[in-house]
Amino acid sequence: MSDTIRVLHVLGGVGLGGAESRIMDLYRQMNRDEIQFDFLVHSEAMNHIHGRTESDRCIRKPEFYDEEITRLGGHIYALPKFKVYNYFAYRRAVRDFFEKHHAFRVVQGHMTSTAGIYLPIAKKYGISITVAHSRNAGVVKGAKGIATKFFRRNLAKKADYCFACSKFAGEDVFGKEAMRQGRVKIIHNAIDAGRFTYNPDRRAKVRERLGLTDRFVLGHVGRFNYQKNHPYLIDIFAAVCSKRQDAVLLLLGEGPDMERIREKCRQLKIEDRVRFMGNQKQPEEFYQAMDIFLLPSFFEGLPGVLVEAQAAGLRCFVSDTVTREAQAVDSVTYLSIAQPASEWAERICEAADYERRDTYQKMRDAGFDVETQAEGYRIFYRKGDNTLL
């Protein structure tokens, strides 16, 4: 339809990440005759194009959500990855893109490291509403983290609206002053809670299929990178193995540190008890199979995987660096990653025998169900009114 509102989401990519999954949950809820999503991602391949960069859908490797986005009617465009040294080329590519593609009502930037560059340019080319959306709290160590903080300076003044998934994420990206002034709207990461609801019959079938019927199953979902703290997670599991001969660990996700974690498992002689499951199109099946969910991250914004785990009725053991705003039910235990992994293992084994319950209504009541949140976004995209978000 010619009067369909088009919303452009700016991301690093459309792989199976937390922000991407939450946006896709929201996308599926939209009446796409009324509101349609498009995606502007960043590709390494684009850095090899000289001169004026032509943004299109071909010069990049397909990612996890490509097929679904296309099927739902969305377009995927590409920019070069920002490397700091290519600052002027990146600005030029952004300018070229919005000079050709400016029919969006909203540009929502989830990649906040460069939002201070692309959002003002989008505004210059006539975009009605620009949004900087903080999805994380914290940056990686080293030069990359320093650069990220530098380019986020004064971001709250460069967007029409500032959204954050938690107070931590808002303060980290926009600053405490912007938070105190009420310029940042906190919008918790919502999921399709019904997909994850605990079902004992479904659990039994999944565990039988995976050969886990009589096992004590721990699980983690997340990208293999510094933030998720996999080395410490493996230390925790090794300590659990010393107490429970029936323990198994399911690791969902992929990433640059995967082979290093495989090697650590071999060194600890627990490789036969750790299953690397990769990216999964139906993660809800694996949550059903788990008994305990682990998230010992160094930092998070508001982790969607923790929301999913609670929706599945799991006992969750989480680092105390994760915001309490992510807790919807009383099944979450916060522990310090500064303490020995054996102390986590002790608490996990003590909690092994618990009554798992259907938490669907509690998740909805706590505001973590995307069906409820989607209506607020529909009004915002149409009218620029964020009061229901």
138-156 confidence digits (pLDDT tens):
777 777 778 888 889 999 9
Task: For 194-365, give the CATH class.
Answer: alpha beta
Confidence (pLDDT) at 2: 60
What's the Rg (C-alpha) of the chain? 21
Go through the chain and tell me how many residues it has. 389
Confidence category of residue 51, pLDDT binned at 50, 70, 90: very low
pLDDT of residue 137: 82
- Other C-beta atoms lying within 10 Å of the C-beta of residue 256: 10
Cα–Cα distances (Å) from 49 to 98, 240, 246, 287, in that order, read 18, 50, 53, 42
Residue-wise pLDDT tens digits, 341-353: 999 999 999 999 9
- Which of 54-68, 251-265, 363-377 shows the lowest per-residue confidence on average (mean pLDDT)? 54-68
Tokens (6 digits) for 92: 């030029």
Residue 161 · residue 386 · CB < 8 Å: yes
Mean pLDDT of 229-248: 98
Per-residue pLDDT tens for 194-227? 999 999 999 999 999 999 999 999 999 999 999 9
pLDDT in tens, 252-273: 999 999 999 999 999 999 999 9
Q: How far is CA 309 from CA 241, 331, 374, in A?
A: 22, 10, 21
Residue 386, CA distances (Å) to 15, 63, 141, 260 in order: 28, 31, 34, 44
Domain residue limits, the chain:
5-190+369-383, 194-365
Q: Do residues 188 and 367 touch, judged by C-beta distance below 8 A?
A: yes
Give the right CATH number for 5-190+369-383 from 3.40.50.2000, 3.30.9.80, 2.40.110.10, 3.40.50.2300. 3.40.50.2000
Report d(CA 314, CA 356) in Å as an integer.
7
Question: Could you give the percent of the chain with pLDDT greater than 70?
Answer: 97
DSSP bridge partners of 37:
7
pLDDT above 90 coverage of the chain, percent: 89
Average pLDDT score, the chain: 94
Query: Using CA atoms, how far apart are residues 150 and 93, in angstroms rounded to an integer?
Result: 21
Q: Mean of the pLDDT values across residues 14-29?
A: 95
Q: What is the pLDDT of residue 8?
A: 98
Q: How far apart are CA 369 and CA 366, in angstroms?
A: 8
CA–CA distance, 36 with 205 (Å, rounded to integer): 37
Q: What is the mean pLDDT of residues 147-175?
A: 94
- pLDDT given at position 22: 95
Structure tokens at 335: 């522990």
If phi over 0 gives left and psi between -120 and 50 gives alpha, with beta otherwise, what is residue 132?
A: beta
65 within 8 A of 72, measured Cβ to Cβ? no
DSSP H helical ranges for the chain: 18-29, 66-71, 87-100, 115-124, 143-151, 167-174, 176-180, 193-196, 200-209, 230-241, 258-267, 283-289, 304-311, 341-350, 360-365, 370-383
User: Which range has the worst mean pLDDT, 39-48, 182-191, 318-327?
Assistant: 39-48
pTM comes to 0.89
